[in-house]
Amino acid sequence: MEELRILSPTAILGYGFPMESFVEGMKRNPHVIAVDAGSTDPGPYYLGAGKSFTDFNSVKRDLEIMIPAAIEAGIPVVIGSAGGCGGHPHVQFVVDIVKEITREKKLTYKLAVIQSELDKELIKSKLTKGEVIPLHPAKEITVADVDETVRIVAQMGEEPFIKALNEGANVIIAGRSYDPSVFAALAIREGFDRGLALHMGKILECAAIAALPGSGSDCMFGYLQKDGFILEPLSPLRKCTTLSVAAHTLYEKTNPYFLPGPGGALNLHQSQFEQITDNKVKVTGTVFEPTPEYFVKLEGVKKVGCRTISIAAVKDPVMIEKIDSIVENVKNRVKNNFESYGIKDFFLDFKIYGKNGVMGLFPGSEDRVAHELCIVIEAVAATQEQADTICGFARSTMLHFGYEGRISTAGNLAFPFSPSDCKVGDVYEFNVYHLMKVDDPSEFFPIEYIDFKTGN
Amino acid sequence: MEYNLRDICSVIRSKNSGPYELTFDVIFKDFDMYNKVKAARAINEKAFAELFNIPMSDIMALVYFDPAKAVKITIIRPIPSGALGETDVYGAQQHSPLMGYTFNM
């Protein structure tokens, strides 16, 4: 095979794509349709709670177009990081949708489901053997930390996908995956260069984001050849330029010259970006450098409590001037009020928008203050009831707080809503972001096959 | 001559690079200016650390990337994404100090 063609319909499963672009993609006779469905961007909640951060109908809409088209063309559909995070419930979320489509359209094909959620006992035993190491700047973990973790997934490389393709799977729904794997798997199986295949996957995983103008909800097409790969956006509105593609190489990476993943890293020091037509770019020179040992990345979260928030605003100039000391006083009052009552272990924070609400993590980097402030009072405690108590008390204390120089003695806060307080629910934090050594890249990613005949 | 970064760049952005890192991309409008800035190292670890009021040791990488006429700076996130105290889960609005960065060259 001299050329392998890949259709990437959308940046994240459920982000959608224009039908015209998809049809253009199918006209080019792709060998595979692949989509990455995941990200850690939406934060730790979704992995912890076992919920998809994309919506049922949005995901179903995308799959309902892709799967029948691929079956008709006799090519596989490969989905990685199902449900956003790739845990058991996330994979199930997508599998349920796929089954519904299969029934409704009476489809006949072979489905492969690859899991990526790991047993905590396995992680603990690997940890004890020194085979789990933190990915800087994450911290070392202990066996106790693993016990505290709600869910841990590992990012698979291309190997489990190749296994499923070898078994004749027409549709692959996989748990947490290294983003480029879903695009590179078939190509690597067919003997194409791993470095070029993975680098192309790195760009295709964001679909048309690497084009100009960029879009996360439009298709991108990749042509992998022996000496390089070509990228082509499928909407006439977009172009790939050497700059749009090179700039995309920066996106969400630590260092654009060196991109580590399962089993090794991509080295871009010799990569060349060449404009071959008005809208197509060819990339050459990228090299995959395997590591002596194979590592997969682990992601895990722990539960830290429950959250209640209250949103309020301030217009009074005296109050705005004294906001920092008022916040300190309110915090102390809340702490003092519940100390002897027994609610001591809570997190109380005031995000002050118009002052440093957005960049509060970089104190001193900006110090301008607006003429009105939005305040988000946040309480996190062991239970929802305690979080309600702390947030509510902080809110009422701040509302009537008699700060020095106060002139507006009726109330300090403007509430846009009644009720003023809002239960947000469970709160999670990332606590595992580590590398785990494996002997076999497919070892911990079990595959289940389901044969459908006219929808069943 | 004094330059304001905002005037000579087409992109200034921030984003998480995984939950434990924050990364900043500064893409220049043209190669001439990029090459001048690169030769003078007008964007450097010391200036960046001062701009964000962080220790220089928090900077994990500061790379001039020629193919995109861009400088990329990656730092240790003050807290992991979504941890208690978070203000920007995606890290997409932490770039504004760069927009006010001025330097002489």
Q: Give per-residue pLDDT as tens, A250-306.
A: 877 888 999 999 999 999 999 999 999 999 999 999 999 999 999 999 999 999 999
**The pLDDT of residue A17:** 98
* 3-state SS class at A23: helix
Q: Inter-chain contact B15–A252, Cβ cutoff 8 Å?
A: yes
The tokens describing A368, both together, are 């301008």
B26, B29, B31, B65: best mutation site toward chain A, by most A Cβ within 10 Å?
B65
Mean pLDDT over B72-101 rounds to 97
Q: What CA–CA distance (Å, rounded) separates A103 from A156?
A: 29
**The pLDDT of residue A252:** 75
Q: Give percent above pLDDT 70 in chain A.
A: 100
Q: Are B67 and B34 in contact (CB under 8 A)?
A: no
**The pLDDT of residue A308:** 98
What ipTM did this prediction achieve?
0.93
Tens-place pLDDT, residues A169-196: 999 999 999 999 999 999 999 999 999 9
Mean pLDDT over A87-104 rounds to 98
Predicted confidence band at B92 (pLDDT cuts at 50, 70, 90)?
A: very high
Tens-place pLDDT, residues A201-253: 999 999 999 999 999 999 999 999 999 999 999 999 999 999 999 989 887 78
**The pLDDT of residue B87:** 97
Q: CB-based contacts of A450: which residues, under 8 Å, 6+ apart? A: A110, A111, A113
Q: CB-based contacts of A41: which residues, under 8 Å, 6+ apart? A: B16, B81, B89, B90
Q: Inter-chain contact A254–B21, Cβ cutoff 8 Å?
A: yes
Burial of A455 (0-12, 13-18, 19+ CB in 10 A): middle
Chain A segment 321-360 residues within 8 A of B by beta carbon are 347, 349, 351, 357-360
Closest residue in chain B to residue A351, using alpha carbons only: B87
Mean pLDDT over B32-38 rounds to 98
**The pLDDT of residue A336:** 97
**The pLDDT of residue A79:** 98
Query: Is the model's pLDDT at A454 over the cut of 80?
Result: yes
Q: Are A349 and B85 in contact (CB under 8 A)?
A: yes
Q: Inter-chain contact A430–B83, Cβ cutoff 8 Å?
A: yes
**The pLDDT of residue A432:** 96
- The one-character DSSP state at A208 is G
Does any CB of chain B come closer than 8 Å to the CB of residue A43?
yes
Of B17, B84, B97, which has the smallest distance from its Cβ to A254's Cβ? Answer: B17
